[in-house]
Structure 1
Amino acid sequence: MSGDRQTIEVSHLTKRYGTVTAVRDLTFTVAPGVVTGFLGPNGAGKTTTMRLLTGLASPTSGTATIGGQPYRQLRRPSSTVGAVFDASAFHPGHTARDHLRVYAAMGGYPDSRVSDLLELLGLTDAADRRTRGFSTGMRQRLNLATALLGDPRVLLLDEPSNGLDPEGMLWLRGFLRRLADEGRTVLISSHVLNEVQQLVDDVVVIRNGELVAAGPWSRLAGPPAVLVQSPDADRLTAVLRAGGPTGHPPQVEATDSGRLRVHGLDAPGIAELAAAHQLRVHELVTENASLEQLFLHLTIDKAAVT
């Protein structure tokens, strides 16, 4: 396995199909050593961008490179990039072993690589079963095995968690983490945001073909809020909005559960302020933003209906 660290770089990428602009002046970087989630509403341009990265489509303008080179200029693409876009791209009459042997022969890889990957992906017992009988989760594992035939430094995976049960999700999290820890560049697209949150370090969020946000998702989500349960909620709200202990008023909103959600002041600060004004507090809970909340905040109001 090569020790090269390959970075994905998309720069001012635009793709038009007639009068439709699928991707518009898109710029982002995907770094090695982390798992990056590629997120956006349906029709946002994720699939088009993946196709541009892998040479399945040509950009109208701009560039999409892997390790500084367009995909079509890579000497042996499958040893640099492993890509999975279709979870059902198997001949129904082929066994898992047959399928991997075909792709190994196409890439010039030995049969021993097939056996290694069947074991690595937990498919040894199913190796000689026909793929028509595979569950969605088993298909996902076979997809990953196919992508890894060339031991690539870059993985582009479309919806890799679809069809996985909780045990399968736990396995996938650990597997992708190990790949990233080896210095590989891992980009995954998904709609299952609660699962993606446990998979990814960074996110790239697009809407209508344009970049909305990119970076570590925890930083993009901002500092946590605090949920407050108080029988003196109205008075506490007034005290908080009067400026708080720093003179900068936190944001306070009422929730459907009757608690207050406070942004801009941590739990100890709220407790001290309430005590100073002899206000009762029954509960303080720090609430970290979820990836789903971040995604909706960035896309819901402006997402195109598809």
Structure 2
Amino acid sequence: MTGVEVRDLTKTYGRVTAVDHLSFTVRPGAVTAFLGPNGAGKTTTVRMMIDHVAPTSGGVTIGGRRYRDLPRPTRVVGAAFDVASFHPRHTAWDHLRIYATMGGHPGGRVPELLDLVGLAGVAGRRTGAFSTGMRQRLNLATALLGDPQVLLLDEPGNGLDPEGMTWLRSFLRGLADEGRTVLVSSHALGEMQQIADDVVVIRQGRLLGAGPLRELSGPAPAVLVRTPDGAALSRILARQARVEADGAGELRVRGLEAAAIADLAATHGLRVHGLTSERPSLERLFLDLTGERTNA
């Protein structure tokens, strides 16, 4: 399996430091959300990973090698950036065929990928007539031509409708479940919440936090308890756990697993209508780390 190691990565433009001694790991078999406010240095960082931007100092290794030292880099790393970088007179088929030839990839990948990303029906249409969402799908197909083990994706959900976002979540999850390394730079916190295993958060080019989402989110996730006997159950649970009432017939319990809560309620003859483990909040983590109060 092929992971990515970013070590002490720095990029300066004159007196401006875009990326400041950044270090983190992107592990195989996981979707890593790469987050930060606008201008945080995310795109510059990803471009340095594949030598599109030369670092001032530090470096990146992919499977233990620098990108430039990979003998067939597009067979190891697939990257997707600007959805506007298509020749408007080329069809989707033409675009993929040209890039397949440039990368030395078999022509059979073209129809396979068009079908995989849902563009088989518009393969003969010129990309100049594509919607932003269709361009995103073609961009993703281009990144996958070499069947790479590492995917570096910059805002892949921009322009996708709700159905497209659902498809993208499932698609990225499937890639990670195959053991691939998937790094996604995104502002769509709600979407990333549903698929991110790991998180890297930066601001002004500096690392604020990196690691599994559950570890970075602080206290153990709460269990939400729906019960008509809230007051009584709260008193009992409070002997062993931290309990908060939300005023809508639910208790938020930290410090006890769902099974233990159900057992205590049954022992005291109290009713429980639902037990739900609360996922760590990516939005709350982002706001706590960055201090942002925007919808980034």
Specify if TM > 0.5.
yes
| 1:298 aligned partner | 289
Deviations 1:220-269 (A, max 9, x none): 22322467899xx99x99999xxx525xxx77778798988665567899
C-alpha distance in 2 between matches for 1:79 and 1:284: 45
| 1:277 aligned partner | none
Any unmatched runs of 5+ in structure 2? 266-271
Query: What is the TM-score when the length of structure 2 is the normalising length?
Result: 0.83
C-alpha distance in 2 between matches for 1:87 and 1:188: 15
The answer as to 2:62 corresponding to 1:71 is: no
Q: How far off its partner does 1:154 sit?
A: 0.8
| 1:278 aligned partner | none
2:155 to 140, 154, 159: 159
1:119-198 pair list within 5 angstroms: 119-198=115-194
Query: What is the TM-score when the length of structure 1 is the normalising length?
Result: 0.80
SS in 2 for 1:149: coil
Q: How far off its partner does 1:80 sit?
A: 1.1
C-alpha distance in 2 between matches for 1:214 and 1:256: 35
- In the alignment, is the contact (CA less than 8 A) between 2:221 and 2:280 conserved in 1? yes
The count of corresponding residues between Structure 1 and Structure 2 is: 295
Q: How far off its partner does 1:141 sit?
A: 1.0
Structure 1 counterpart of 2:220, which letter?
P
Deviations 1:22-50 (A, max 9, x none): 11111111111111111111111111110
Please tell me the root mean square deviation across aligned C-alpha atoms, in Å. 3.4
- In the alignment, is the contact (CA less than 8 A) between 1:228 and 1:260 conserved in 2? yes
- In the alignment, is the contact (CA less than 8 A) between 1:84 and 1:156 conserved in 2? yes
| 1:41 aligned partner | 37
1:118 to 114, 121, 124: 114
Structure of higher CA gyration radius: 1
C-alpha distance in 2 between matches for 1:228 and 1:180: 32
SS in 1 for 2:108: helix
SS in 2 for 1:163: coil
| 2:269 aligned partner | none
1:29 to 25, 31, 37: 25
Residues 256 and 225 (structure 1), Cα distance of their counterparts in 2 relative to 1, 3 Å cut: same
Residues 287 and 119 (structure 1), Cα distance of their counterparts in 2 relative to 1, 3 Å cut: closer
* Percent of residue pairs identical: 63
C-alpha distance in 2 between matches for 1:34 and 1:283: 30
1:223 to 220, 223, 237: 220
Comparing 138-147 and 262-271, the one that deviates more: 262-271
Structure 2 counterpart of 1:298, which letter?
L
| 1:289 aligned partner | 280
1:245 to 239, 243, 247: 239
- In the alignment, is the contact (CA less than 8 A) between 2:34 and 2:183 conserved in 1? yes
C-alpha distance in 2 between matches for 1:33 and 1:264: 29
C-alpha distance in 1 between matches for 2:101 and 2:249: 63
Structure 2 counterpart of 1:297, which letter?
D
SS in 2 for 1:180: helix
Structure 1 counterpart of 2:135, which letter?
R
Any unmatched runs of 5+ in structure 1? 275-280
- In the alignment, is the contact (CA less than 8 A) between 1:245 and 1:269 conserved in 2? no
Residues 20 and 258 (structure 1), Cα distance of their counterparts in 2 relative to 1, 3 Å cut: farther
